[in-house]
Structure 1
Amino acid sequence: MALPLGPRFLFLLLIQALVPPSSLQLHLDPGLIDRIVRDSAFRSYLVDHQKTAVVYNVSLPPSIPGVSAATVRFRTGSLRRHGAAVGEFRVAPGVVVRPRSRRLVVVAQNLGDLSSAYDGYRNISGFRLVSPVLGLLFYRAASVRNASVPPELEILATRGPITVDFSGLARCSRGSRVLCALFESDGNLSLSNATRGGTMCRARTQGHFALVVESAGSGGRSGGETEMEMKLSGWKVVVVSVAAGAFSSVLLGLVAVAVVTAQRKRMRTAEMERRAYEEEALQVSMVGHVRAPTAAVVRTAPCLENDVAPSW
């Protein structure tokens, strides 16, 4: 049973015989490329690719020249326990798949010359690609047999990252800082630092990745803005440090005042108790010009039991 083709895909195949490939590239967008690669990968499982955990190269139509793709099917539990390696991608163990699926199909793609389709992202201006765009997408494997449109799955790497190795694919760009670009589904571009000498990217989820550098036309402006941001960041650090030091000093002062006040209150209470005890025990009386403590009368006054005088 063949996988149904979308109307845009059929239209693209129809006009491919009439329009040169160079002109056809102008009508391609990233979403359409992903759908063409996805449909080709799923059709390959209905013909040749039957084994699990085996990487197969995908035969792509001439409407997307220069693009290459590979696909492999996994059990979700096995992928979570052991991870996977597909082309330039390494998926560490511990991935979480949403929504849940017993089996899934991984499609890795290299857009090659069609990487320029991602030039339309909103904040790509000021940067230029120095590597092809590599894509890693996950689909529910149950759609291979029931001839339905395969839904794209979301994955999250919880233990180790997903790494993308651009060794041998990146064009040399001396004197520029190489950044990793993640092309998100909402049309935004996320940048992060490349590792291992500017040839490896790390991510926590699937998507499309590439290496970029600042374009020559905006290098001075971007460099100035970066330098200004660094200066502003330095001032922010100084201001925050001073504010934190002042706050700490005020806090220590308040603590010291509280300790001294509590100590004085305890001393005052002890003095009042001592005075109260002394005034209760001994009264002070004036004997001439001398103040002397005197004791209160505590004995009972003697009295005779009878008026009879003793016999002695």
Structure 2
Amino acid sequence: MDSFSIIIIILFTLLLSFHHSDSQTVQSTRLLDLMIRDYTIRNFKLNLNTGTIQKIHLPSNFSGIDIDTVKLRCGSLRRYGSRIGEFHIGAGVTVEPCPERVMLVRQNLGSNWSSIYSTGYNLTGYNYQLASPVLGLLAYNANPDGVATNPYEVNVVGTDQNPILIDFLKITANDNPKPTKMNSSVLCACFPSNGSTTFSDQVSPYVCKGTRQGHYALVVTTEARGKDDDSSGGGMVTPSTEVDGGSGGGKLSRWKVAVGSVIGSGIGAILLGLLVVAMLVKGKKKAEREEMERRAYEEEALQVSMVGHVRAPTASGTRTLPVMPDDRYKNTHLNHHR
């Protein structure tokens, strides 16, 4: 096995370990956004009219993620706002920078992928658990006649008077009765790209307010969760149904992260050792090959034969055999008599 093959194995192993452990980090949430962005751009229908919402169907390895996208004029977005999925962008927002066209991408990470934010942003450290899927709204530049080949993120910034509202009612109520009062144990969580988490109260039942694009979710305290599970009011889906799969989900997730990190680090160390060994073996074989080539060159210039157990140089035979003095004398005498 050469060193290149071992390097490929190491990279593949690190990717697997990242999927089990480091995928629960803020960096992996950013990577997920970029992957969704690139796939959305590749599958965006250019013949759709401006303002028409398009559903994006992701590959099977992104099962559970729901994506919508729409292309808008930047000036219209600032003056009139927009609505896409659960996000209602109010009029008067600021778009920085403001290209001619803006592409909005709305994400619903579902129960399969929302746990990345739960662990990556350490909600259990705040004694919170997710009570809804994580919803995301990101904006990118777009060309007038299509989608930009080099997209960059555009900042959509609102204010307290002109906010971005996120309505979780449809995705949390399901078959439960429509809530008629505010549940004080439920808070809004915002997950910015800097890794910190901010919490705020709901502005109305299951409606949150944001001031910029990003990712949002409803959270509930671990203490309040036990009370809400037995209560009949509120009409809220329990966090275990949406995210954690049962009580103690946060502890189980941490345990999985720790085990995954240890296993991934161990496998990485073993493969790194194999890489060093392979490089040493390859270097040794190269030195032996060079030595054999040098000896072959020397033997070609000066033939070498074995005398017992000793190698000794030998000269090749001459073309003309030497004539002994007696033979020369006999030949001269015979010629004289003739």
**TM-score category by the smaller chain?**
0.5 to 0.7
| 2:78 aligned residue | 80
Residue 193 in structure 1 maps to residue 193 in structure 2? no
Indicate how the Cα distance of structure 1 residues 134 and 25 shifts in structure 2: closer, same or farther if over 3 A, else same. farther
| RMSD value, Cα | 3.3
Q: TM-score, normalized by length of structure 2? A: 0.53
> Which of 72, 94, 97 is the matching residue for 2:95?
97
Q: Structure 1: 5+ residue runs without aligned partners?
A: 1-10, 221-312
SS in 2 for 1:71: strand
CA distance in 2, matches of 1:167, 1:184: 22
Residue 58 of structure 1, CA deviation: 0.7
| 1:67 aligned residue | 65
Bigger helix fraction: 2
Relative contact order, CA 8 A, sep 6+: which one is greater? 2
| 2:165 aligned residue | 163
Residue 188 of structure 1, CA deviation: 0.6
Indicate how the Cα distance of structure 1 residues 52 and 218 shifts in structure 2: closer, same or farther if over 3 A, else same. closer
- Once the two structures are overlaid, the 10-residue window that deviates more, 117-126 or 134-143, is 117-126
CA distance in 2, matches of 1:146, 1:204: 26
- Once the two structures are overlaid, the 10-residue window that deviates more, 200-209 or 96-105, is 96-105
Q: How does 1:14-93 map to 2 (within 5 A)?
A: 28=23, 29-45=28-44, 47=45, 50-93=48-91
- Once the two structures are overlaid, the 10-residue window that deviates more, 175-184 or 185-194, is 175-184
Query: What letter is aligned with 1:157?
Result: G
Query: What letter is aligned with 2:57?
Result: S
Residue 215 in structure 1 maps to residue 214 in structure 2? no
Query: What letter is aligned with 1:184?
Result: P
> Which of 184, 188, 204 is the matching residue for 1:180?
188
What is the aligned residue count?
200
| 2:149 aligned residue | 147
CA distance in 2, matches of 1:192, 1:39: 32
Residue 215 of structure 1, CA deviation: 1.2
Contact in 2 for aligned 1:140/1:153 (Cα 8 Å): yes
Contact in 1 for aligned 2:185/2:224 (Cα 8 Å): no
Indicate how the Cα distance of structure 1 residues 93 and 218 shifts in structure 2: closer, same or farther if over 3 A, else same. closer
CA distance in 1, matches of 2:113, 2:57: 16
Q: How does 1:220-299 map to 2 (within 5 A)?
A: none
CA distance in 1, matches of 2:56, 2:71: 13
Contact in 2 for aligned 1:40/1:59 (Cα 8 Å): no
- 1:245-292 deviation digits (Å, cap 9, x = unpaired): xxxxxxxxxxxxxxxxxxxxxxxxxxxxxxxxxxxxxxxxxxxxxxxx
Q: TM-score, normalized by length of structure 1? A: 0.57
Q: Bigger radius of gyration, 1 or 2? A: 1
SS in 2 for 1:30: helix
Indicate how the Cα distance of structure 1 residues 217 and 97 shifts in structure 2: closer, same or farther if over 3 A, else same. closer
- Once the two structures are overlaid, the 10-residue window that deviates more, 133-142 or 152-161, is 152-161
Indicate how the Cα distance of structure 1 residues 124 and 97 shifts in structure 2: closer, same or farther if over 3 A, else same. farther
- 1:80-114 deviation digits (Å, cap 9, x = unpaired): 12110100010011111112311110000000020
Residue 127 of structure 1, CA deviation: 0.2
Residue 216 of structure 1, CA deviation: 3.4
CA distance in 2, matches of 1:95, 1:56: 23
| 2:109 aligned residue | 111
Residue 132 of structure 1, CA deviation: 0.2
CA distance in 2, matches of 1:156, 1:175: 28
Query: What letter is aligned with 1:151?
Result: Y
CA distance in 1, matches of 2:200, 2:148: 40
